[in-house]
Structure 1
Amino acid sequence: MTGGEKENETVAAARARVEQARERLGETVGQLADKADLKGRAQEKTAEITTNVQQAAARTAHAVQDHTPEPVREAAVRTAHAVQEHTPEPVRQAAAKAASAGRARPGPLLVAGAAAATAVVVVRRRRARKG
């Protein structure tokens, strides 16, 4: 091998190392950018938590409904109708406004509903144990 060939090999090897370093640097920059995307990460976490809460609320609602005797459900419906008939109009309007706010931002409402349903299940189990 001549000096020129060795020099060409050395230059080619150096270029290859530089290209590998660029690739690694590009990957590192990409990873850092992903970590720095706080808004995106927060949105992903929020979506995950919302899904978990919705699933827990659905499971709890089904458990409560499955364990509620039919006469109790019928009484609840009758009571709801009676309350609605005797509720003054301003209170109904306020309730409707609160309901629409709940539909606009269901997260807090779901959490409150899950907590209430969980409380009902706990109370029922305690009463059942006391016999």
Structure 2
Amino acid sequence: MTQPPHDEPTAQSPEELREQVEQTRHRLGETVEALADKTDVKARVQEKAVAAKEQASAKATELTGEVKAKAAQAVQLVQEKLPEPVTAKAAAAAGQARQVWHDQAPEPLRNNRAPLVAAGAALVVACVLLRRRKK
């Protein structure tokens, strides 16, 4: 027989020896599984792809919230600084833009239009302001 490892005591009975063999088999099986997992390149690439997709989705959600907040701030700032006649013209233009949007935009875009409408309204107001300053 071979010498047992230094960290394991020698078995005193056949039952203890069977138990040690079973434990060794179990540890060896776990080691083989761990090595097999490390060599499964396809699975590791898929795991990394899923993680990257989740991270990108979370970042997109975060940025969408930031853009919505900044658009709302811009609209509020513009509304505060505009005189009433310009505000009325901008509201009319926004109403026309909404009608055109409803008539011509594809269905998937129409269902998620709030950020686009806010940005469009801000753009219309900015154009009106720029025209007014040039005169």
- State the TM-score, normalized to the length of structure 1: 0.46
Larger radius of gyration: 2
Higher helix content, 1 or 2: 1
